[in-house]
Every structure is written in C-alpha cells, then in structure tokens.
Structure 1
Amino acid sequence: MDSETITASALLLCSLAIYSYALKKKRIIQKKHRKRRWWITTIHRNRSSATMEKLLNELVAEPSDEFKKFSRMSLNDFEYLLSRISRRISKQDTQLRKAIPARIRLAITLRYLATGDDYGSLHYLFKVSPQAISEIIPEVCHALCEVLKDEIKVRI
C-alpha cells in the first residue's frame, strides 16, 4: 500500500470514530430531555380528600333531598352501610399518596349502581382514576354482600 491509501484509510477511520462518538452523545442528550410522563394526571394530582368530601357534604347539606337523588338512598341508610363496611373497604395512606376514604369508595359504588354511569364519568365526578374505580366497585360490592348476606335473599 502506498502512503496516500494509508492516509486516506486512517482519515476515514478517524472520521467514522468521531461521527460514532457524536451520534452516541446526541442519543444520551435526547434521553435526558425526553418529555417526562407523569404516573398521575393533573386532575388527580390536584385532588385531595377534601375536594371529594366537599361534594358529599354539599349534597348532604342541600335541603331538597339532593343526596337521595344522587345515591338513591337516604343519608341515614348511607351512614348505616358505611358504619357496617368501612373497616372492610378502608385502605391505609402511603408515603406516595393518600388513600381514598371509605366514604368516597361507598359513594362511588352507590352512584355506579344507581345510575350505571361508566367509569369515565365517575372519574370526572369523583376525581378518581378509572383504574382505581374498576377495583373499588367490585371490592365494595363484595363487602356489601358479605355484611348484608343475612338481610339479602338471592334466588338461585
């Protein structure tokens, strides 16, 4: 090989190495600057048990029986059911987030059973994710069946 071929080959190898290094560095920078995905959406990030409780408290305080229209049961019946199943459906708070209170869990389930609303509409009404609602409703229904099994007669 003559010296020109060796020089051209060396130059080509050096430029490939520099190109490879620049490409790798660009990928690292792009990884760092990826748009961050949140595991919780804004509507849920701003939620607190106070906002969910506020809705129920406003319905309870309304003199025109709005709570009964909302849940299809009287406040006394709601409180009775809540006292019977609250231990079964309550969850503990974690360091990451606060648990959805038993009162809200029961209200979500009763609203679902009363109206047949889909999880999406319940999601906006109670500020609880559809995934959480899909776990809450069967859990509360199961607890209601267990607690009220002596009072409910099911024909088979």
Structure 2
Amino acid sequence: MICIAVIHELEKMEKRQYTKKRYWVAPLFKNRKMHGFYHAIFPNIILEDSTFRNYFRMTAIQLEELLQIVGPSLSKQITSFREPISAPERLCLTLRYLAAGDSMKSISYQYLIGVTTVSNIISDTCNVIWNCIHEEVLPSTLSQGDWLRIADEFEEKWNFPHCIGAIDGKHVVIQCPNNAGSSYYNYKNSHSIVLLAICDANYMFTFVDIGAYGRRSDGGIFRSSLMGQKFHNEEMNLPEPQAILADEIPLPFVIVGDEAFPLSEYLRTKNLQLSAE
C-alpha cells in the first residue's frame, strides 16, 4: 500500500505544471533596505520603550539578550551570489509574528520579504529558539525544591496550600489539513490543535503538550501526554505529602484544573476547591 501511494504521488508530480518565475526578486522587495520595517522603522522604535514593548512584547534589552543566544545559529553565510537576511532581522520578524498573530502575507509586506521566505524564516527561527533555550525555560524535570517553591508562591499569592500548578487547554485555531476528516474539529465548531499547559503561581509555563487533535478532551490529552504519564507513574519528583497545620494528616501536593480533568491523588478540580471553601 505504501508503494502504491508513493507511485500515485509521483504521477501527480509529473502532471503538475510549473510556471517560470517572472522575477528572482519582486521589484517591491528590492527596496527592503530602504523601506522595510527593520531598516526604516526599527531604529526609531528601539528608542521608545513602551512602543517597542507593544510591538515585540519584550523590551529592547530582552531582545538583545535573546539575540546573543540564538544569533550564531540564525546567521547565514555571506556569498557572492546574494546577501542573506541578517540574524537580527530574522529574529525581529519572527517575534512580531508570534506577538501579533499576524498573517505571513502581512509580515511579508511589512518587512518587504517574500511570503515563502517569511514562512521559512519563522519556522527556522522558532526551531532555533526552542533548541537554544528550552532546557532553561522549560526543563523536562523539576526538583522537589522547585515544586516546594511553586507551592509556597501559590499559598502566598492565591491562598491555596499544597498547589504546585494550574492546568488547562487552549484551542489554537488552524485551517483544516488535507484529508484530516474530523480529527481537528472541536466543540467550538472550528478546527484546532490543543496547547495543554501547567503554569505556576506567576502564570509561567512549567510543562506543555502541543499539537493534540482539537476533537479530544483536555483530560484525555493529559492522560496520554508524556507529562500526564509521568505524573501517573510518580516520576515527577513531587514532594512527599505534608500536613498543612500541626497535628493534621499529611496531604499531597496537587495541580488544579477544571471539571474536564479526572480527580486523582495529584490533581484536583476547582469545583472541589470552591465547595471546600
């Protein structure tokens, strides 16, 4: 069956008609270094803290620190054929796309770069950012000391003792992929993938699972995810149960979610918490 499918795709490729490009670089994009956002506007907004933060969702100092980390991996070799797009411009373009959720076509006109090139830059830059900093910002495991610190912050800020995280899912709307059927069709009558995340008391992600089908429930995604399996198998280095007050029975440390998640020793729902209050 696999061979038949491959042959079928090859036949389709042979029948596909390709048209010769009219331009190597569109005339509009030839003026990128004169009118493109990075060259014409960026030098001005970098002096305005509030404007810069609104545009990139980070400060100029934070962007510079990130560039120092990912810049070497983003830089392309300069050849006599043509000059590559610089690492700072690649990073700025990607951060704007992530901050605004704008379309790639809009980003293309803003930075005066072809849509296909914009797509490739965003994909490559996101991979570089993830590979360079994910061990620091989203480590695969936490120590018992880390969990206890999170629990202390929840108790101090939210008056919820022994809470080590809040979990929920977010549907990221997408265009339905080809031949996907109803896999991505969700209860909101749209197609999506699910971002399932656990965050600490400061709204910072500690664990994430990205890419599950939109038709699946949050509880089902968590149960089959790597982090859910590690919680179930007691492989998350959770602290031992402790008494909240003196002379009381020890209580476990838990994450809190909504009614979509099943109750367990390490997971409680907000309805249970409200009823307890």
Q: Give the TM-score normalised by the residue count of structure 2.
A: 0.41
Q: Which amino acid aligns with 1:61?
A: L
The answer as to whether partners of 2:94 and 2:126 remain within 8 angstroms in 1 is yes
1:65 aligns with 2:72: no
- What's 1:112 paired with? 97
Pairing 1:49-128 to 2, within 5 Å after superposition: 51=36, 52-62=38-48, 65-128=50-113
Cα separation, 2, equivalents of 1:141 and 1:88? 11
Unaligned stretches of 5+ in structure 1?
A: 1-35
Cα separation, 2, equivalents of 1:134 and 1:117? 12
Identical residues among aligned pairs (%) = 29
The answer as to whether partners of 1:49 and 1:101 remain within 8 angstroms in 2 is no
Structure showing the higher strand proportion among its residues: 2
1:148 aligns with 2:133: yes
Cα separation, 2, equivalents of 1:121 and 1:128? 10
Question: Structure 1: which 4+ aligned runs deviate by more than 3 Å?
Answer: none
SS in 2 for 1:85: helix
From 110, 116, 124, give the equivalent of 1:139: 124
Unaligned stretches of 5+ in structure 2?
A: 1-20, 139-206, 209-226, 228-277
The alpha carbon displacement at 1:50 in A equals: 8.4
Size of the aligned set, in residue pairs, is 120
Q: 1:142 to 1:76 in 2, by over 3 A?
A: same
Relative contact order, CA 8 A, sep 6+: which one is greater? 1
Structure showing the higher helix proportion among its residues: 1
Q: Give the TM-score normalised by the residue count of structure 1.
A: 0.70
- What's 1:48 paired with? 33
